[in-house]
Amino acid sequence: MRTLVQRVSQASVSVDGAQIGKCDAGLLILVCAMAGDTPEQTAKMASKISKLRIFKDDAGRMNRSLVDIGGAALVVSQFTLAADTRSGNRPGFSTAARPEEGRALYEKFAADLADLGVPVETGEFGADMAVNLTNDGPVTIWLDDAK
């Protein structure tokens, strides 16, 4: 499973001009299920992200987690995180999970994160989405679960 985690002061996602998900202070999490990923990996990734100490403490150091600050998450599927650009100029996406598997793992990841006490809103799997965010910091972290 691959994720791109962005600390945000706000984020939203829209489909066909209608907002379908949002969060205030917290994380925008772009998620890509990779071929061979398992439900156990979604739970592990959700736990890792919920505990990442990337929010400022009273001294201004990154010492607090999403759970510590009572923050929310906007979880958006993004299969293009599987892009393979090693050959030519057109990315290949063959390492991404097949759509039906990807949807199930994406939905399970969002549910796993919610089960950890994080308020979660989501995008729409497979839709053409417009994502709006204010990156706080900026803080952007790539997490790739090695199988």
Query: What are the catalytic residues?
Result: 78-80
Q: Are β-strands 55-56 and 2-15 bridged in parallel, bridged antiparallel, or unpaired?
A: unpaired
Cβ atoms 130, 11 nearer than 8 A = no
Question: How far apart are alpha carbons 32 and 123 in whole angstroms?
Answer: 13
Cα torsion angle, 25, 23, 109, 30, sign: negative
Cβ atoms 122, 78 nearer than 8 A = no
Cβ atoms 56, 64 nearer than 8 A = yes
Question: How far apart are alpha carbons 80 and 129 in whole angstroms?
Answer: 13
* H helix runs in the chain, sequence order: 39-51, 66-69, 99-115
